Structure 1
Amino acid sequence: MIESWRWYGPFDPITLPEVAQTGAAGIVHALHEVPYGEVWTNDAIAARKAEITGAGFTWDVAESLPIHEAVKRGEGDLSTLFANYRQSMANLAANGIRTICYNFMPLLDWTRTDLRAPLARGGSCLRFDASRMAAFEIHMLGRAGAEDEYSQDVRNKAAIWFQQSSESDREALLHAIMSGLPGAFDRYDIAGLRDVLQSYEGIDRDTLRANYKRFLQEVVPAAEDLGMVFCVHPDDPPRDILGLPRIVSDGDDIDWILSAVDSPANGLTLCSGSLGANPANDVPAIAARFANKIRFGHLRNVRKEPDGSFEEAAHLEGDTDMVALADVFVTEEARRREAGEDFASIPVRPDHGHEILSDIGAKSVPGYPMIGRLRGLAELRGVFRALEYAATRG
């Protein structure tokens, strides 16, 4: 495995010299300051790569090269957006960055209702609370049809929370929901969110799939020519949000994507936390099913609740058997090396982390504290080393 670390560049209070002390070898990074749809220039990529390599790292994955919302909606003349995307790909490849992680989630990236939910033994974690999300959709946003998507018990709790909440409570909830958009991305107030949701009116699951397939048809051949790989990140959480369809939520969705454009360049980011939030998903089994298509790994764990809520667990705790999942990665990497395949080594990173110890009050990017991820990386490193040792012993 290539032990990697997500770094947000100018938006990250954690410095590269600090990351170096974690033992990670690679950096996962994006030019978050570039607006969606614009070209990542060769000069900007080269400058950032020089900063990363100058600190003793490799830049292993571009995460994410974002997709403009017009592409997801399939609206208007998209030729310039597709051309810009391919040019950004070419500029990354020219700088030796050949793996691109991306997602096709409409409007919002990962979604949480609490950025610092308290943990029993101290510290905090990211949390998705179904009743707070229902309160937001039903009582704050007033989205038509939202009531039908939640159980009566969740709706009752949502009404109580809303009645008892202060204006600052509601502002904090909106802020949390918007916080999955890092860097120079748009944030919305309630009125703005209502307006932008209208732009998705009439776009159902089939329409979004058709627009996604068109995107793949536009960029995957270019990736093949450039010697690059794409790896789609699953939806987070793996359920419809704000009435918008999510189409990368389980094994069948992944199978459709990888079959839509059958190519070695069309691959998967195996995110154990995103897939793990769906009670129907057996994450190690999904990883084994698509092992030869995994190009990147996000390793984290979640603890689910019956009403659809979940929160981030420690990396070796939670509902996903992380040792079984790590074994899939070790086995697949060994197979690739034996076969002499390109991209044999899989970049993996500890995804998210608890805010603990000196993380508390450090104002890190939500979900990306220093000590919590360092704990996760150390735990995962131990698992990988033990599995690799066992494999060599037969």
Structure 2
Amino acid sequence: MRMVFRWFGAGNDTVLLKHIKQIPGVEGIVWALHDIPAGEIWPVERIMEVKTEAEQYGLTIDVVESVNVHEDIKLGLPSRNKYIDNYKKTIAHLAGAGVKVICYNFMPVFDWTRTDLYREMEDGSTALFYEKAKVDRMDPAELVNNTASDPNLSMPGWEPERLKELSKLFQAYENVSEEDLWNHLAYFLKEIIPVAAEHGIKMAIHPDDPPWSIFGLPRIITNEANIERLLKLVDHPHNGVTLCSGSLGADPKNDISGMIRKFSDRIPFAHIRNVRRYENGDFIETSHRTTDGSVDIYGIVKAYHDMGFNGYARPDHGRHIWDEQCRPGYGLYDRGLGIMYLWGIWDALERRSK
């Protein structure tokens, strides 16, 4: 397991590279050029700037999260070919800088969805929270305002220039079914995977978060059967999945450890985090510790260990603890604690296997 840590860039993150370097076992950053709109080509100069910054602290830039997919590709519009060509050029540019994995998602309109960015927990910490009844009755515009209200920190997947056309986006998806979305994803992958393979990059789709439809929009990367279907769309080692225990873990029907064992050779990148589920469909993000949530983090790490996982992993969203002022879900302290919990499990398994 190769541990990495998400970093949003100089001036766009409260966490500094020198802090990341001090977390035991972390060898690289997970990064992106968040100011470049979906569909545009990532310039080589900008990519190399990040590489230079990271290497000053001995950190790699092997994993990118995310190269966002333009909405026209998801909608299957004739204009998608232009954006797919741009995506191919970005893949080539990233490969030239040594990138090995590109994480992306195929969620219409919204990326991850939460109703409260700082819900207080019993111990006084705060965390990302999803209230099902609120989503069921709220206006999507209200969700956008709540999530992207901080002008100082970009929120990946909630880019203002794209979401200002919210009503038009919803109209565009009115007649797009889940099967249509599958067809559009297949078209994209058939174009992209040969290029990624040529350049030695593995594409790793992120599951939908949460793994069910919201506001009537189609969502398709939600469970084991759908991940299997995805991998068969283009049955190639470079067509893989970012297995996210938090996204998939919001649905109690998902057997995440089972998915790891089944798809281990197609998981180049793992997000490991915990959520506490409630019977009414709500969930809150907890510490990584198994007993604090509803997801068996021990079982997940054991599955990776049993399968000889040597891909990249990162602690996903953490709580906001010790009065840290940070981007929702992406502080230093709780993610640092999460890494040490994951290493503790891994090291114990290593010793037991000898």
Q: Same fold by TM (over 0.5)?
A: yes
Aligned counterparts, 1:47-196, within 5 A: 47-137=49-139, 173-178=143-148, 181-182=155-156, 185-186=159-160, 192-196=165-169
Asked if 1:264 corresponds to 2:198, the answer is no
The match for 2:29 is 27
Asked if 1:235 corresponds to 2:208, the answer is yes
* 1:186 to partner: Cα distance: 2.4
The match for 1:308 is 281
Which residue identity does 1:332 align to in structure 2? M
> What is the CA–CA distance in structure 2 between the aligned matches of 1:29 and 1:174, rounded to whole Å?
23
* 1:127 to partner: Cα distance: 0.4
Which residue identity does 2:297 align to in structure 1? M
Decide which of 357, 371, 379 is 2:341's aligned counterpart: 379
Which residue identity does 1:286 align to in structure 2? M
The match for 1:331 is 306
* 1:66 to partner: Cα distance: 0.7
> What is the CA–CA distance in structure 2 between the aligned matches of 1:13 and 1:372, rounded to whole Å?
14
Give the 3-state SS of the residue equivalent to 1:231 in structure 2: strand
The count of corresponding residues between Structure 1 and Structure 2 is 346
Aligned counterparts, 1:267-282, within 5 A: 267-282=240-255
* 1:271 to partner: Cα distance: 0.3
The match for 2:270 is 297
> What is the CA–CA distance in structure 2 between the aligned matches of 1:197 and 1:278, rounded to whole Å?
25
- Contact kept, 8 Å, 1:130 with 1:309, in 2: the verdict is yes
* 1:184 to partner: Cα distance: 8.1
The more displaced of 20-29 and 345-354 is: 20-29
Give the 3-state SS of the residue equivalent to 2:112 in structure 1: coil
For 1:141-181, what per-residue CA distance to the aligned partner results, in whole angstroms no more than 9, with x for missing partners?
6xxxxxxxxxxxxxxxxxxxxxxxxxxxxx6x543345794
* 1:78 to partner: Cα distance: 2.2
The match for 1:7 is 7
- Contact kept, 8 Å, 2:127 with 2:329, in 1: the verdict is yes
Give the 3-state SS of the residue equivalent to 1:26 in structure 2: strand
Quote the sequence identity (%): 37
Which residue identity does 2:6 align to in structure 1? R
> What is the CA–CA distance in structure 1 between the aligned matches of 2:282 and 2:275, rounded to whole Å?
10
Is the alpha carbon distance of 1:184 and 1:108 closer, same or farther for their aligned partners in structure 2, counting shifts above 3 Å?
Answer: closer
> What is the CA–CA distance in structure 2 between the aligned matches of 1:27 and 1:389, rounded to whole Å?
27
Give the 3-state SS of the residue equivalent to 2:308 in structure 1: helix
> What is the CA–CA distance in structure 1 between the aligned matches of 2:344 and 2:121, rounded to whole Å?
24
> What is the CA–CA distance in structure 2 between the aligned matches of 1:38 and 1:194, rounded to whole Å?
23
- Contact kept, 8 Å, 2:144 with 2:158, in 1: the verdict is no
> What is the CA–CA distance in structure 1 between the aligned matches of 2:30 and 2:7, rounded to whole Å?
6
Asked if 1:349 corresponds to 2:314, the answer is yes
> What is the CA–CA distance in structure 2 between the aligned matches of 1:205 and 1:178, rounded to whole Å?
27
* 1:373 to partner: Cα distance: 0.8
> What is the CA–CA distance in structure 2 between the aligned matches of 1:195 and 1:79, rounded to whole Å?
21
For 1:86-142, what per-residue CA distance to the aligned partner results, in whole angstroms no more than 9, with x for missing partners?
0100011111102111111111110000000011011101000012212314xx76x
> What is the CA–CA distance in structure 2 between the aligned matches of 1:28 and 1:210, rounded to whole Å?
29
For 1:233-283, what per-residue CA distance to the aligned partner results, in whole angstroms no more than 9, with x for missing partners?
100000001211110000011000000000010011110000000121111
The match for 1:17 is 18
Q: Which has the higher helix share?
A: 1
Provide structure 1 residue ranges, at least 5 long, that are not aligned to the other structure: 142-170, 335-344
Provide structure 2 residue ranges, at least 5 long, that are not aligned to the other structure: none
> What is the CA–CA distance in structure 1 between the aligned matches of 2:131 and 2:88, rounded to whole Å?
38
> What is the CA–CA distance in structure 2 between the aligned matches of 1:20 and 1:285, rounded to whole Å?
33
Larger Rg: 1
Give the 3-state SS of the residue equivalent to 1:32 in structure 2: coil
Give the 3-state SS of the residue equivalent to 1:107 in structure 2: coil
The match for 1:166 is none
TM-score (normalizing by structure 1): 0.84
* 1:20 to partner: Cα distance: 1.5
TM-score (normalizing by structure 2): 0.93
> What is the CA–CA distance in structure 1 between the aligned matches of 2:230 and 2:135, rounded to whole Å?
28
Please report the RMSD computed on the Cα atoms of aligned residues, expressed in angstroms: 1.8
> What is the CA–CA distance in structure 2 between the aligned matches of 1:235 and 1:183, rounded to whole Å?
12
For 1:277-310, what per-residue CA distance to the aligned partner results, in whole angstroms no more than 9, with x for missing partners?
0121111111111111111010001111112111
* 1:62 to partner: Cα distance: 0.7
Decide which of 332, 344, 350 is 1:370's aligned counterpart: 332
- Contact kept, 8 Å, 2:4 with 2:314, in 1: the verdict is yes
The match for 1:319 is 294
Give the 3-state SS of the residue equivalent to 1:203 in structure 2: coil
> What is the CA–CA distance in structure 1 between the aligned matches of 2:296 and 2:20, rounded to whole Å?
27
Is the alpha carbon distance of 1:377 and 1:53 closer, same or farther for their aligned partners in structure 2, counting shifts above 3 Å?
Answer: same
* 1:199 to partner: Cα distance: 1.5
- Contact kept, 8 Å, 2:63 with 2:103, in 1: the verdict is yes
